[in-house]
Amino acid sequence: MMEDTAIRSILVVGGGTSGWISAAVLARFLDPRKTRITVVESEEIGIVGVGEATVPIIRNLNGLLGIDENDFVAATNGSFKLGIEFRDWGETGNVHFHGFGDFGDDIGGVAPHHHWLKLRRLGDKRRIEDYSLPYALGQRGRFTPPNPESGRGDSDYRYAFHFDAALYAQYLRRMCEARGVVRVEGRITNVAQHAESGDIASVTLADGRVLEADFFIDCSGFRGLLIEQTLKTGYESWQHWLPCDRALAVPSSSEGEPPPFTTSTALEAGWQWRIPLQHRDGNGYVFSSRFTDEDRARELLLANIKGEALAEPRLLQFEGGRRRLAWAHNCVAIGLASGFLEPLESTSIQLIQTAIARLIDYFPERRTNPAIRDEYNRLCANEVERVRDFIILHYCLTRRTEPMWEFVRSMELPETLAAKIDLWKAMGRVPMMTEESYQEPSWAAIFLGNDVLPDRYDPLVDRIDPDMLARGMAARRADYAAWAERMPTQAAYIRRHCAMPA
């Protein structure tokens, strides 16, 4: 008889965003009669509770889980996000926008930023954002979901969400429990390993209960209860590239209608986020403790929020980097337990989502096959390193002169990023590597937003008569403006479809 090697039980350790997303995806793919899924979490410890901005890939997760988006936005007091507005990055007064969409269709097979560059050389001073539909919508406070099926230009953008992180975890929890996931409340005080293999055998709770499983997902947050404290996989720090290691977070009252984008404002030793929700704003100053202190950070944070602070600022400490192994023995770390990149591009929830999807793709048996585990680890490492490079790009292009900004401008870059910058400067293109989350229009938005123009544009642009090109680009701008004017405001859309229940 063939040995039964199937995983019969999975214990998810942690009930934050990563724990509940992982459980929800597992419950979606596994047969509950064959595989028991349990989430253990501790209310006493709580969740980090600050991940409130997302990127468009979250819509794939919603689709997979059968989530009705309007219901989801209502339940999480959420709003819509068309991109990120960067203020004072590059230099004080600079404003640029990383929108969820490209700068329109290619023209004659050449990306639009090359045509923009040619017009610029001819004296046209318009910004690249003038060719971004998400920007046109964002500036006017407009939102309605695009209809990609229509094939029309006015649907050529993507979107994501802002939400209340605590409400999001509760929303996912309700969905998981309805689908057969068992939740256990309790604080883990001990982890037992099999003597021979070193695999994790069980966890023990403070009240003495023992939870056994075939496979474990470590979603215990920064502490990495299983992956680090038990399996000791080690941490690769990226602090020499990403010196920010603290955040002070504070909610504030809403002022006016929430804009449909996140704002990131560079400050003297880091940057401040504003995430507008229906009932409040989330704010936080991400800073480097090497270059400022907590008192000064608190002062700047509170001076730069729009409404009134609704609580005392809360300090969070972190170290940018990744766990050397995301999968070790019979345990996969997901979320903060697997590493952390500062939230400049709101990528942590994306990495949670791709990690659990990848685990489904490379699903284990009871005895871990090293070939499967190693490939999983390779893909996770590639993905997070590509995101890391994109985040470092925002810093290293700066022209600001405060000590932290001087440091990031002159630091030695990862080779993979240096290669991208070199090719961009040489010819306005960005080499795409494997597991790349950000495509060329995103890179172009950050390069051009920081006034880093390539030495030349694509010579194929010169096939087009300059007057005709100028007319075509003007028509594109006019279309975006007209389409945006016709759309409802985000506030009207929310009131109509997804206002938070009274």
Per CB under 6 A, residues contacting ligand FAD are 14-19, 40-42, 45-48, 50-54, 165, 187-188, 219-221, 223, 225, 247, 249, 284, 316, 318, 335-337, 343, 346, 348-349
Output the CA–CA distances (angstroms, integers) from residue 337 to 12, 249, 334, 418, 500, in the order listed.
12, 20, 6, 29, 32
Minimum distance from residue 270 beta carbon to ligand FAD (Å): 11
Residues of the chain by 3-state class (helix, strand, coil), percent to 5: 40, 20, 40
Minimum distance from residue 331 beta carbon to ligand FAD (Å): 14
Minimum distance from residue 453 beta carbon to ligand FAD (Å): 30
Selection from 484, 490, 487, 430 nearest residue 131 by Cα: 484
Give catalytic residue positions.
Answer: 81
Select 144 or 263, whichever has its Cβ closest to ligand FAD. 263
Selection from 276, 305, 306, 352 nearest residue 77 by Cα: 276
First to last CA, the chain: 60
90/96 Cα distance (integer angstroms): 9
Selection from 434, 439, 395 nearest residue 413 by Cα: 395
Select 155 or 170, whichever has its Cβ closest to ligand FAD. 170
Selection from 470, 479, 440 nearest residue 107 by Cα: 470
Order of all β-strands in the sheet with 200-205: 188-193, 200-205, 210-212
61/342 Cα distance (integer angstroms): 22
Minimum distance from residue 502 beta carbon to ligand FAD (Å): 27
- State residue 422 phi and psi, 5-degree precision: -60, -45
Sign of CA dihedral 431, 435, 440, 444: negative
Minimum distance from residue 123 beta carbon to ligand FAD (Å): 40
Minimum distance from residue 37 beta carbon to ligand FAD (Å): 16
Select 98 or 115, whichever has its Cβ closest to ligand FAD. 98
Select 30 or 53, whichever has its Cβ closest to ligand FAD. 53
Select 146 or 186, whichever has its Cβ closest to ligand FAD. 186
78/498 Cα distance (integer angstroms): 8
Do 12 and 343 form a contact (C-beta atoms < 8 A)?
A: no
Selection from 342, 320, 160, 345 nearest residue 249 by Cα: 342
Select 136 or 248, whichever has its Cβ closest to ligand FAD. 248
Minimum distance from residue 76 beta carbon to ligand FAD (Å): 13
CA 89 to chain centre: 19
Select 51 or 134, whichever has its Cβ closest to ligand FAD. 51
Tokens of 38: 């349990």
